Structures are given as structure tokens and as C-alpha cells.
Amino acid sequence: MDKVTERYSQWESQFAQANPAIDLGQVRDALKTIVIETPSWGYADSGTRFATFKQAAAAKTLRQKLEDAAQVHKYTGVAGSVAFHIPWDKTDDWREVKGWAAELGLKMGAINPNLFQDQAYKLGSLTNADPAVRAKARAHVLECIDIMRQTGSQYLSLWLADGTNYPGQDDFRARKGRLEEELAAIYSALDENMKLLIEYKFFEPAFYHTDLGDWGMATTFANKLGERALTLVDTGHHPLGTNIQHIVSFLIDEGKLGGFHFNDKKYADDDLTVGSIDPYQLFLIFCELVAGGDGKAIDVAYMIDQAHNLKPKIEAMIQSVLNIQTAYAKALLVDRKKLVSAQLAGDIIAAENTLKGAFETDVRPLLAKTRQELDRPEDPLAAYRASGYAQKAAQERG
């Protein structure tokens, strides 16, 4: 018996004695089938408003971004999809890019329009008072929908930087009306197999008001558009102290949760490694996702969106995937019957301890066994570091 199997067998025996209601085979199956999408832009140099600290191994071309994403999937087994940002990833030959992805064992994920860098969008894109600017923004989004057709992408992931910085700068209701009109035009251009994910953010770069400031606004627009318009939850896009797991539960119940941009924060939209600041909250979010599913997390888009400004790009992405897997594994180990029984009895302590017991469980043997069944290394990060890929990339790209 190999060491991974031996450790898992010991762990399984101990866990099963204390938790006979949990089907560990079902848990491993759930862990193997989740798809965690990584962003192309997470492999390239990025920075803050103050500086960009370049890394020799960072991807310089779209092909290199895909090659780096393939490394994350190679070592984790659950990151086989890549999101793209237009125009950062714009190319004249998407068929070629799709071929590269297939060659690397990847599929084409969400397409993200860029409506925040063009000088024309100084006062807004889809909400701008100037019809010509709105037409420019709309044309860009329609271009992205065409890219979706070429790549086979299912998701149009839309975030707006639109807002105002000063009282009286523009009329709130007029901007809302413009946005509603533009979103309707975008939604009508989608094919039947496509979904519109509407992201929100409570501030920055607009500091007085943001046109899509919270999940309620995003969901209001989604409800008006139709069933293929959904809300995207960025875990860093909330004021401090926000109960994100409650938002997730509410959206699941309304049938309006479209997916996630996973990251973490200490103060605002810090774009830190998911699970690095508040792993318990990440666990509680996955508890709601599992509660809404049938023995596993519900089928939505699980995407990472982080700024790896200091950490090595690929290592940070692997770390993010591992943190998501860990939170998900622990959520799958919650004894649901025991939890519901305690809730119905009004036993607050027993209910909380049911969650804490799962959160405090060491799931490393479980994850190692799951990776073995996926033909992946027990420690993906260590295996990647030992591969020499980063050093080779730095020599070739630096």
C-alpha cells in the first residue's frame, strides 16, 4: 500500500467512526468534478496604482498565459478552464488560440470586456451621458459576444467601473436608465447557450457612487433581463463585515447566482489570495453552495480573479486552487442532518459546533487521496516548484 493510500485509510477509519452519515466516496467525487477557472491576466505582470513589480517568469504573450494556466491544471487536476480579458488578450485568430488550449488540455472560459481603461470612459461607459461613448462601449461588448461564439465560451462576465466622484456630477436615475437600456441590447445579442454574469462593486474607481454598487442592484438588472442574466459575486467587492455567505444563500434561493470571482481582502478590494485572510468565511460560503446542491456545490462558474503583484504567478494560482479545494472539502464534511436537527431544536451551540467540527477537520489526507485518483501529485505546489518550469520560463521570457 502506498503512503497516500495508507494515510487516507487511517484517516477514513477515524473520520467514519465519528461521522457515519458522511459518504466519503461521494465527497471525493465532488472534489474531482468541480472546475476552478483561472484568469489569463493572473499570469501576466500586474500592479497597484503605485507601481508594477515585474517578474521575469511572468507571461508576455497569450500563448504563454495558456502554457502557465496548463501548469496549474497539470498539478491540481481541477483548473482546466481559462478566462480571457479583451482587449488584453485580443487576437486575430481565435481558432488558433482554441487549438492551443485544446493542445494544453484546457477549455476556453468566460470572456471579460474591458470598459474601464479607454480614455472615452472617463465619465462612464454604458452609463455615459454621451450616446457616442455608450455606442462605443456597446460595440465592444458585442465584439466580446462574437469572440464567445468563436471560442465556445458560455459566460460573458461584465464588470463596470462606471460611477461618479462628486455630488451633482450626473443624475443617478438617468444613469440607471441608460444602463438598463444598454444591458437589454447586450442581453438580446446573446445566443441561447450564453449567460450574462453581472458583477458589482461598492466603490473604486468611483468614490461617490457606483452604478452597480451591490448585489441587489446587479440582481435587479438581472431579473429585468431574463433567466440567462445572473449575478456574479466577487468575494472582495463588499464593505467590511458583509455577510457574503448570506448573499450567496439568498441568490441561490432566487435562482440568480451565476458564479464567483474568488479572492480575499483585508480592507477593500485587495485582490489577495483567496482564503489567505478569512478561510472560515470561504468555508461558510461553500457550506451554502453545498446546501444548495445535491451532495456537492451547485453548478455555477467558479472563477479566480486576483492580482498576484508580489507572489510568483503560477505558485499563487496553485495556492488559490488548493485553498478553494480545502474550503470545499470541509464544507462537504458537514453533517447536514445533524446540523438541521440542531437548528430545528434551537440548539445554537450544537449547530455552530457541527460547522466548526467540519472546519477544523484536517482534510489533507482526503485531498491527497483525491489527487491520487486524478493522477495528480499529493502536494501540487511542491511538485510544481520541483519541476523547474519557473526557472525555465524566467530564462526564456526575462
pLDDT in tens, 33-84: 999 999 999 999 988 778 889 999 999 999 999 999 999 999 999 999 999 9
Look up residue 139 and give its three cell numbers: 460595440
Q: Which helix (H) or strand (E) holds 198?
A: strand 195-199
Cis before 87? omega within 30: yes
What whole-number distance in Å separates Cα of residue 111 and Cα of residue 136? 18
Q: Which cell goes with 98?
A: 482554441
pLDDT at site 62: 98
Which triple of cell numbers denotes residue 152?
Answer: 465556445
306 closest CA partner among 108, 43, 21: 43
Give the integer Cα–Cα distance in Å for 138 and 141.
5
Residue for grid cell 465532488: 30
Q: Where are the domains of the chain?
A: 23-332+363-397
Kind and range of the H or E run holding 25: helix 24-33
Pairing of strands 209-210, 257-262: unpaired
E strand or H helix at 230: strand 229-234
Residues β-bridged to residue 229? 196
pLDDT (0 to 100) of residue 33: 97
Which grid cell sits at 383? 511538485
Contact 305, 261 (CB under 8 A): yes
Q: What local confidence, expressed as pLDDT, does residue 278 receive?
A: 98
Instruction: Identify whether the C-beta of residue 261 lies closer than 8 Å to the C-beta of residue 304.
Output: yes
Separation between Cα atoms, residue 163 and residue 248, nearest integer Å: 25
Mean pLDDT by 10 residues, the chain (398 residues): 95 96 97 98 89 94 98 98 97 97 98 97 98 98 98 98 98 98 98 98 97 98 98 97 98 98 96 97 98 94 95 98 98 97 98 98 98 98 98 95
List the one residue out of 53, 48, 114 whose CA is nearest residue 84: 114
CB atoms within 10 A of CB 19: 16
**CATH 3.20.20.150, domain 23-332+363-397, yes or no:** yes
CA–CA distance, 82 with 125 (Å, rounded to integer): 26
**What backbone phi and psi angles, to 5 degrees, belong to 146?**
-65, -40
